[in-house]
Amino acid sequence: MAGRSKKLVIRTKLGEREIARDSILYFPHGLIGLDDKREFVLIQVRENSPFLLLQCVTDPGLGLLVADPYPFLPDYNVKLEQPEKKLLRVENIRQMAVLVTVTIPKDRPEETTLNLSGPIILNTKARLGLQAPQVDAKHPTHYRLVEAQRAQKPTPE
């Protein structure tokens, strides 16, 4: 009986999913342009896929494709201001995870991009999140994954 109340069935873009209530991430300010959407869950798209679905718990039509940017861009850097750190209740850096939204144009997967200007920062311990716009111009706003693949391939000698 106790295990039943800890689960929740939600509708997602990937179909119905059962999630643990303690896996819900709370975004006190919502996401940019989605201020009224506060509860999300991360769902693995496919086994061994670098992509996750950041699914709104209350709106089955709202799911954002996201990924960890570091396998693609090891030198990607996110700056957080003190109020953002306070909102996330960051005690140490190991509690934090960074995700970026992914865009895959219809019928053009080779043009898939990572949005580096609006990373989503999570405190995995406190289950809190926020979107933290970045102004650092070290990387382009939208980074094409084709570029990442080219950078990772060894050059012939």
- The three-state secondary structure class of 115 is strand
Question: Is the confidence at residue 53, as pLDDT, over 70?
Answer: yes
Q: Is the pTM of this model over 0.75?
A: yes
Residue-range domain boundaries for the chain: 2-152
Mean pLDDT value of segment 68-87:
91
Question: Is the confidence at residue 42, as pLDDT, over 60?
Answer: yes
- What's the CATH code, domain 2-152? 2.30.290.10
How far CA 16 is from CA of 9, 10, 107, 141, in Å, comes to: 7, 6, 25, 33
Question: Is the confidence at residue 1, as pLDDT, over 50?
Answer: no
pLDDT of residue 147: 66
What is the tens place of the pLDDT at every residue in 97-135? 999 999 988 999 889 999 999 999 999 999 999 999 988
How far, in Å, CA of 104 to CA of 120, rounded? 18
Which amino acid type is present at position 58? T
How far, in Å, CA of 110 to CA of 112, rounded? 6
How far, in Å, CA of 74 to CA of 33, rounded? 28
